[in-house]
Amino acid sequence: MDQNVKTSTTREWLEMIKFEHTVFALPFAMSGMILGYTGGIAPGPGTIFYTVLAFVGARSAAMTLNRLIDAKIDGLNPRTSIRAIPKGLISKRSALIFSILSFALMLAAATQLPPLCLALSPIAVFWLSFYSFTKRFTWLCHIVLGIALGGASLGGWIAAGGSLGEPAPWILSLAVTTWVAGFDLIYACQDVDFDREQKLNSMPARFGIAKALLISRFLHVITASSLIALGTIMQLHPPYFVGVAIVCAMLAYEHSLVKPNDLSKVNAAFFTVNGVISILCFCCILAAKIF
C-alpha cells in the first residue's frame, strides 16, 4: 500500500512539472553549448552535467510556480481542473517549497559554470517567475514564454565559454523564442472561450483563432529564417542545412494539422511534432560540428 501511494505521488509531481516536456527545450540548451564552445575544445563532462542540472532546476521551478500561481484558474477550466494542485493531490505549500529548492539547485549548478552564468541567474529567476502572471495583463504572454526558453540556449552558450557579443547566440535565441511562442499560441487556441470568459489574455482570445494561427505561422517563418541565418553566419557544415530543411517541413506539417474550425489534432501538433523538431535541431547541430 505504501509503495502504491509513493508511486502515485511521484507520478503526480512528474505530471505537474511536465517532465516529458523537457524535450522541448533541453536540446536547445545543449545546442547553445555545442555552438558556443571556442578553441576547438569540446565542453567537458562537468560542464555538460552542471548545465543540464541548472536547466532541470530552472525548468522544474518555473513549471511548479506556473501551476501554483494558476491553481485557481486551472480549477475553473474543465481542461485543467484535473491537475494536481486544484485536485488537492499536491499542496500549495509543498509546491512553493519545491520551487524554492529547484531554483536553489539552479543557482548551485551555476556556481560551477563560468561566472557570467551565476551573474545572470537573478534575471533568469525573475523571468521564469514573471511569465506566469503575464496572461493576466498582456496577450504577449506567448512571447514572454518564448523568451524564457530562448534564454536556455543563451545559457548553454555561456556555459561553454561562448561570448554574447556576437550575433550567433542571439539568432539561435530568436529561433527558439519564435518557435516556442508559435506552438504555445497554437496550444492556447484550446482555451479561447475560457480565456475570454475569465478575462485572461492570449492572442487567440484577443484576435480570434484564425488570426492567431496566422501569427503562429509568421513566428515560425522567423524561426526557419533564423536557423538558416545561424548556419550561414557560423558556416556550419551541410548536415546542419539538411536538418533545417526537415525542420521547415515539420513546421509546415504542424500547421497543416490545425485549422480554425478543427482543433482536434492540437496535441499531435504540440507534443509530437515539436518534440521531433527540438531533437532534430540538436542532432543536426551536433552533426555539423562533428562532420
Alpha carbon of residue 254 to chain centroid:
17
pLDDT of residue 41: 61
Predicted confidence (pLDDT) per residue in 237-281, tens digit: 999 999 999 999 999 999 999 999 999 999 877 788 888 899 999
Structurally, the chain folds into a number of domains equal to: 1
Residue 15 backbone dihedrals phi, psi, to 5 degrees? -70, -40
Report the pLDDT value the prediction gives residue 163, as an integer from 0 to 100: 86
Q: Looking at residue 64, what is its pLDDT? A: 93
38: left (phi over 0), alpha (psi -120 to 50) or beta: beta
Largest CA distance in the chain: 59
What is residue 20's predicted lDDT score, i.e. its pLDDT? Answer: 67
Instruction: Please give the Cα distance from 203 to 222 (Å, whole number).
Output: 18
Distance separating alpha carbons of residues 186 and 145, to the nearest angstrom: 13
Q: What is the pLDDT of residue 174?
A: 98
Predicted local confidence at residue 39, as pLDDT: 63
| CATH code, 56 | 1.10.357.140
Alpha carbon distances (Å) from 14 to 97, 186, 188, 267, 278: 16, 24, 22, 19, 21
pTM score, whole prediction: 0.92
Length of the chain: 291
Parent domain of 73: 2-290
Residues of the chain with pLDDT under 50: 1-8
